[in-house]
Structure 1
Amino acid sequence: MTTVPPPTQAYWRDSSERYGIVTRVLHWLMAALLLWQFVGMGLRLLLGRDSIASFFVGLHQPVGTVLFLLILVRLIWARSNRRNRPDHGSGFIATTARLGHGAMYVLMLTVPSLALLRAWGGERVFAPFGFEIFPAREVEIAWTGKLAGLLHGELAWVMALLILGHVGMVIVHERMWRDDTLSRMAGRRG
Structure 2
Amino acid sequence: MDTTQAYGRISRILHWGLAALFLWQFLGMAVKLVLGRVPLSGFFVGLHQPVGLAIFALIALRVLWALLNRGHRPGHGAGALGLAARLGHLTLYTVMVAVPLLALLRAFGNTRGFAPWGFEIFAPRAQEIAWMVNLGNAAHGLLAWTLAALIAGHIVMALLHHFVLRDGLLRRMIG
TM-score band, normalised by shorter chain: over 0.9
| TM value normalised by structure 1 | 0.91
Q: What code does the residue aligned with 2:152 have?
A: L
- Structure 1 segment 76-95 matched on structure 2, within 5 A: 76-95=64-83
How far apart, in 2, do the equivalents of 1:176 and 1:38 lie? 28
Is residue 2:140 matched to residue 1:152?
yes
| Paired residue secondary structure (1:138) | coil
Aligned mates of 1:64, 1:50 — CA distance in 2: 21
2:50 alignment partner AA: P
Q: Are 1:14 and 1:23, in contact at CA under 8 Å, matched by a contact in 2?
A: yes
Letter of the 1:37 partner, please give it: Q
1:1-190 to 2 correspondence within 5 Å? Answer: 13-187=1-175
Q: How many residues end up aligned between the 2 structures?
A: 175
Q: SS state of the match for residue 124, structure 1?
A: coil
Matches of 2:44 and 2:37 in 1, distance apart? 10
CA RMSD of superposed structures (Å): 0.7
Cα deviation, residue 91, structure 1: 0.7
Instruction: Read off the aligned partner of 2:56 and give its amino acid letter.
Output: F
8 Å CA contact 1:65, 1:112 repeated in 2: yes
What SS does the corresponding residue of 2:72 show, helix, strand or coil? coil
Percent identity between matched residues is 53
Higher helix share: 2
Report how far residue 50 of structure 1 moved.
2.3
> Could you tell me which amino acid in structure 1 is paired with residue 65 of structure 2?
W
Stretches of structure 1 lacking an aligned partner (at least 5 in a row): 1-12
Q: Verify the 8 A CA contact 1:44 1:51 in the aligned structure 2.
A: no
Runs of 4+ in 1 over 6 A off after TM superposition: none
* TM-score of the pair, normalised by structure 2: 0.98
